[in-house]
Structure 1
Amino acid sequence: MTLRHMKIYVAVYRHCNVTRAAEELHLAQPSVSLAIKELEEYYGIRLFERMGRRILPTEGGKEFFGYALHIVSLFDEMEQRVKNWDAVGNVRIGASITIGTQILPDLLQQLRVQAPEVRIEVAINKSDVIQQKVLENGVDIGLIENQIPHRDLCTVPFMRDNLCAIIPPGHPLEFEKSVSLEQLAEYPFLMRERGSAGREILDGCFEMKQLNVHPMMESASTRAIVSAVARRIGVAVLPYLLVKKDIQEGRVLQLQLTEPLERNLNIVYHRSKYLTGNMNTFIELCKQYGEEIGHE
């Protein structure tokens, strides 16, 4: 079995189409079909089910893809490093919006001090997008909030964050020592967009309490929500890390929730990922950062 077979398999899997894979690889379609057939004969399993013009991976095919993808990516990395031995290494980091905004800049600064030669690439997006990038080898290490368990991911919690309620100064709830979600739901609610980690936690709590909450405003921008709260348009529940400065400056007021909403912030990487020295350095920096914040 050759690396060529692996590269062809990865392309076919991604496109679910032999013709498109052949075009991407600049190969004849029969050559691609033959390579898949040889793989299936070699391992004695069916890797794809033929569905008309499309092909869909079997369960065995999905398992094989995880190995093939990382064999190909590791080979490509080796080629780049050996052919350019004096060139610096890369670390590709993905982070959720909360972590990317509030935590990652400090971590990158520390990484620069410890590994000044490293080239850093950063992607900031929703947690589920970053998790998918880790699975597809789009990034080496992800920093995300609560994630969907996946057998191909190694997950290491490195610190905790909590969601807090915010209201404008002068709000009727201003002098409450703590408030419940039921109390907050009586006022216009401003929420992050569906798919964000904080929104998923909040929706889950509303469902458990059988609260039918229709947000007056949904936004992918935390800043837009905070500004709307400050202008007395409604109330919100957001990650404390994202609203800490606004609370300290008095733009909005924080209320303690009667039932605290906490979540882990996690380091995630593929279980088949080869972690370079710089990647391990970054992981250790994340753990140290979490310990220092936890002791403040």
Structure 2
Amino acid sequence: MTDTPPVTLDDVRDAAAQIKGVAHRTPVLRSRTLDALVGAEVFLKCENLQRVGAFKFRGAYNAASRLAPEQLRKGIAAYSSGNHAQAVALAARELGTTAVILMPEDTPRSKMDATAGYGAEIVTYDRYTGDRVAIGEALAADHGLALIPPYEHPHVIAGQGTAALELLDEVGGLDALVVPVGGGGLIAGSATAAKGLDPGIRVIGVEPEAGDDTKRSLEAGRRVSIPVPRTIADGQAADIPGELTFSVNRRLVDEIALVTDDQIREAMRLVFERLKVVVEPSGATPLAALLAGRIDPVPARIGVIVSGGNIGARRFAELCG
């Protein structure tokens, strides 16, 4: 690691200015029932109500909007299990350019249809046998496209951190911030913002038990690879943390909690029934950790990044019905 962090609080603030008026400033929800179940004041930053239904639009637009005009004319490429795909597709449309997106062939149909609906061309691959980074880089190089990765990019990380920046601006001081972890971009940006404003805040990541690559990596002090996880939290099906994101998270993330698929289902069901909010599995993992008692001790004031809500009615019914 270098002494200079790849992303700073000033970078997150700059990203907030860059995306203002394009990305939504999402609401923060409260629930007395949820507070009672958790035993704390819980503040839900609802990125499921962000454009494209997930936080990913923040980072995608922040990165894409900074490309040179000649590169925008050529187009953008990305690889993603779904939410980043939609985010890049919409960012490209907003900026008047085109996008080619590499997606796993088993991506939920709702996410694939939404990506195509924003005007992107979709190329598929097998996530269990193919290397999406290598395939994506080749795809971009072959067509002269600017590749915007889902998390390994300073502008993407800074953009994702704007969700935490908004949350803290709205609710004031928090004892802890709980964030889902996939490749690590959201928690890297969130931790940068949160620790930059309050070094004493506890930053807690949450992964599905089947996809605990970040937890293992933090414990080992180096990036650890695991088999591609099979979990309902498809947005967190990473097999190794990003190099750039890990360099941030090993400095700023205090701990990682793990949850089962059943605990994720229960959190999705509770939020739907009590708050009338639809959350996809990856977005529900922080709530699952709180409800299942996976975070101990329980902080008094907890911010939760609800990262996304992109799940179709049929899939939601299959998981939670």
TM over 0.5: no
* Higher share of residues assigned strand: 1
Q: How high is the TM-score relative to the length of structure 2?
A: 0.23
Could you say which structure has the larger radius of gyration? 1
